[in-house]
């Protein structure tokens, strides 16, 4: 297999991994979180950051070492929409992350309104996330370029 194929595989798996982490957080964040669950959520959210960084680094490696040149990507509006969607998911994740860190430092149960705000942030991430693979598929087929 070529280097480009390995980079594509790694990139796709990392994107799926990122979705899995977001879905895991969404499944865990609910009223009545005990101290152990809050600690687990903070650890899972650290994994979120690591996986998101991996998605970005592998994507940059694909730009530099992949089969297509930079122009193929940078001249396509779906590339920029994909990056904007990725950035939006990352920015939306800041609110829940701040809550998890705060919850992990206390023995007190978080307020239900705070938990629901974190869930809304996760739901918004899950709503925006599909734009990433949709744009990637369009871009890979030269649509928009």
Is 41 inside any structural domain?
yes
In a domain, 124, yes or no: yes
Q: Which domain holds residue 134?
A: 3-140
Number of structural domains the chain divides into: 1
Residue 71 pLDDT: 87
Residue 54 lies in a domain: yes
What does the pLDDT read at residue 70? 87
121 in a domain, yes or no?
yes
Query: What pLDDT shows up at residue 106?
Result: 87
Residue 57 placed within a domain: yes
Question: 145 lies in a domain?
Answer: no
State the Cα–Cα distance between residues 63 and 73, nearest whole angstrom.
Answer: 8
Please indicate, yes or no, if residue 40 is contained in any of the structural domains.
yes
pLDDT at residue 107 in the model: 84
Q: Is residue 97 part of a domain?
A: yes
pLDDT at 108: 86
Against a cut of 0.85, is the pTM above it? yes
3-state SS record for the chain = CCHHHHHHHHHHHHHHHHHHHHHHHHHHCCCCCCHHHHHHHHHHHHHHHHHHHHHHHHHHHHHHHCCCCHHHHHCCHHHHHHHHHHHHHHHHCHHHHHHHHHHHCCCCCCCHHHHHHHHHHHHHHHHHCCHHHHHHHHHHCCCCC
pLDDT along the chain (145 residues), means of 10: 92 97 97 93 96 96 90 93 98 97 90 96 98 95 87
């Amino acid at each position: 297999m070529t280097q480009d194929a390995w980079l594509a595989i790694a990139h796709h798996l990392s994107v799926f991994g990122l979705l899995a982490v977001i879905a895991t957080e969404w499944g865990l964040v609910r009223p009545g979180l005990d101290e152990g669950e809050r600690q687990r959520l903070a650890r899972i959210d650290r994994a979120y950051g690591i996986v998101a960084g991996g998605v970005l680094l592998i994507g940059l490696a694909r730009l530099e070492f992949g089969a297509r040149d930079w122009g193929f990507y940078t001249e396509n509006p779906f590339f920029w929409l994909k990056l904007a969607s990725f950035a939006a998911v990352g920015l939306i994740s800041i609110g829940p992350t701040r809550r998890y860190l705060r919850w992990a430092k206390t023995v007190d149960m978080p307020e239900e309104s705070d938990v629901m705000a974190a869930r809304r942030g996760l739901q918004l991430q899950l709503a925006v996330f599909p734009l990433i693979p949709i744009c990637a598929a369009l871009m890979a087929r030269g649509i928009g370029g």
